Structure formats: structure tokens, C-alpha cells
């Protein structure tokens, strides 16, 4: 048999490579999710931030109307921006200096053999994993439209003189009958305590308390009410069952306050 015939026979018996065996397809398939993730998480917000920098977009008016360098001029004339920039530079310099010093010292320590070295390594790596989840929870809480705290500094920044903020929250009588059924002792709180956080430049104009009775005859409704309040996880399982298994009529008490930004 000639060499040509032998080579042809070997080639015919060699198994054909499927599309999944392609190294090019494997490379594209492996890199595509990372590229999509980076574009969605970094690229899109970056482009949107650039567009917003040259527009008059606000929280109340999200339309992108081109205004050139006007927004940049307003930012550079804002004393809050310069204070934030100074704080950022100070924090960056100090924190990086501490990181270099402490990281070098820690690296020298971990080159030695000592008892519970594994625990030190765990404590070193722990801050690298927990901030992501904690930051996510913090942002969800901060940006929640119902339960988030009021950022008075931001409210004063975006409001024109005479602009107003409406704050609504539960008063001390809110869900009083529900709390009586859950706890042996119902704690009262001051309805005016939040007024201590109002800064200068914001004037308290008006407040009013609103009340009505809510009757829940269905067990599913009582269960959903518990899930909407902190009492759903504060109370024990027995206390929650006591509420769900019996009809409930409770008071809904809401206080709203109207604040206006003064001229100065």
C-alpha cells in the first residue's frame, strides 16, 4: 500500500470535530458574558453620566435637554461640590497611606508561622467579600421610595426657595391594636422626634394626623399586613399565629409634615 493511500485511510478514520470543539467558539462563549456584564455595569452608566453632564436633567425632569457646559459651570460654583471634593481627596490620601502601611506590616506578619494563622487570613479576606452585599443592602434601603430616610442636604440642594418637601410617616397610634395583640407592653414614641433632624434653611409649615380603622377578616390579609411591617420578623411565631388566626380591626394613623425651603 502506498504512503498516499495509508494517509488517506488514517484521515478517513479520524473523528470529525464538532462545533462545540472549536477553540474560537469556546473563546467567544467564555468572554461574551464578561463583556456584556462590563458594558451593562460600567459602559452604559458611564455613557449616561456623560450625557447627563451636558444636559439639564433633574430628579423631577429626567428629559435629556442639551445645555452645553452650563451644568459644569453650576457645579464649579457650588460650595458643596468643593467641600465634597476636599473631603474625597483627604479620604483618598489618608486611606491609601494607611492601606500601604498596614498591608506591608500584615504581609510581613503572615510570612511567619504561628498559631491560628488561618484565622488571621480569614479575617483579612472577609472585608473583601462582605462590603458588596452590605453595600447592596444599604443602597436598597437608602433608595427605597417609602422607607428611606430623608436626605436633607440633597433636598436643600435641589429645591429652589419656596420649594417644599412632604414627609409622611406613622404616628404613635399606628397599628396600635395589632401591637397590643403581639406584645405584652406596647411602646409609645414621640411623633415630633423627627423634627429635631430638620436643618436650618427648612421651615416646618404644617402638619396633620390622619386616622381610619382597617378591618381584616381574612387570614391572608392579616398575614400580608404582618409581612409589610417590622412586626413580621420582630414577633415570635406564636405571636404571629395569634394575629393571623383571629379577625383584627386596627388603627391606621399617619402623620404628614410640610416643609418649605426658606430664602436664605
Domain-by-domain residue ranges, the chain? 15-75, 162-261
Say what the pTM is. Answer: 0.46
CA distances 227 to 95, 119, 140, 171, 243, Å, are: 41, 39, 18, 19, 12
Q: Which range is least confidently modeled, 80-84, 120-124, 162-166, 257-261?
A: 120-124
CA distances 117 to 99, 103, 114, Å, are: 20, 16, 6
- Relative orientation angle of helices 117-143 and 79-110, to the nearest 10 degrees: 160
pLDDT tens, residue by residue, 52-73: 888 877 655 667 788 888 888 8
CATH architecture for segment(s) 162-261 = 3-Layer(aba) Sandwich (3.40)
pLDDT tens, residue by residue, 95-126: 999 989 988 988 888 888 888 888 888 887 77
Q: Which residue has the higher pLDDT, 57 or 200?
A: 200
Q: How does residue 259 score in pLDDT terms, banded at 50, 70 and 90? A: very high
pLDDT at residue 111, rounded to an integer: 85
Q: Residue range 48-52: average pLDDT?
A: 86
Amino acid at each position: 500500500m502506498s504512503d498516499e493511500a495509508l494517509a488517506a485511510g488514517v484521515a478517513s478514520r479520524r473523528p470529525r470535530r464538532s462545533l462545540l470543539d472549536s477553540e474560537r467558539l469556546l473563546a467567544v462563549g467564555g468572554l461574551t458574558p464578561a463583556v456584556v456584564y462590563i458594558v451593562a455595569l460600567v459602559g452604559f452608566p458611564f455613557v449616561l453620566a456623560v450625557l447627563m453632564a451636558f444636559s439639564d436633567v433633574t430628579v423631577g425632569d429626567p428629559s435629556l435637554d442639551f445645555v452645553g457646559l452650563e451644568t459644569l459651570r453650576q457645579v464649579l460654583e457650588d460650595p458643596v461640590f468643593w467641600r465634597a471634593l476636599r473631603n474625597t481627596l483627604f479620604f483618598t490620601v489618608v486611606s491609601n497611606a494607611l492601606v500601604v502601611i498596614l498591608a506591608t506590616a500584615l504581609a510581613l506578619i503572615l510570612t511567619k508561622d504561628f498559631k491560628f494563622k488561618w484565622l488571621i487570613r480569614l479575617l483579612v479576606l472577609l472585608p473583601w467579600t462582605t462590603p458588596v452585599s452590605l453595600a447592596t443592602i444599604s443602597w436598597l434601603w437608602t433608595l427605597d421610595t417609602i422607607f428611606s430616610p430623608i436626605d436633607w442636604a440633597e433636598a436643600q440642594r435641589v429645591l429652589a426657595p419656596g420649594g417644599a418637601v412632604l414627609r409622611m410617616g406613622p404616628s404613635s397610634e399606628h397599628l396600635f391594636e395589632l401591637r397590643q395583640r403581639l406584645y405584652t407592653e406596647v411602646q409609645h414614641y414621640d411623633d415630633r422626634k423627627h423634627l429635631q433632624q430638620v436643618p436650618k434653611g427648612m421651615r416646618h409649615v404644617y402638619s396633620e394626623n390622619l386616622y381610619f380603622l382597617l378591618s381584616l377578616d381574612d387570614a391572608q390579609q392579616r398575614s400580608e399586613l404582618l409581612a409589610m411591617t417590622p412586626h413580621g420578623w420582630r414577633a415570635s411565631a406564636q405571636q404571629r399565629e395569634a394575629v393571623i388566626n383571629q379577625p383584627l380591626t386596627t388603627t391606621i394613623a399617619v402623620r404628614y409634615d410640610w416643609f418649605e425651603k426658606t430664602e436664605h
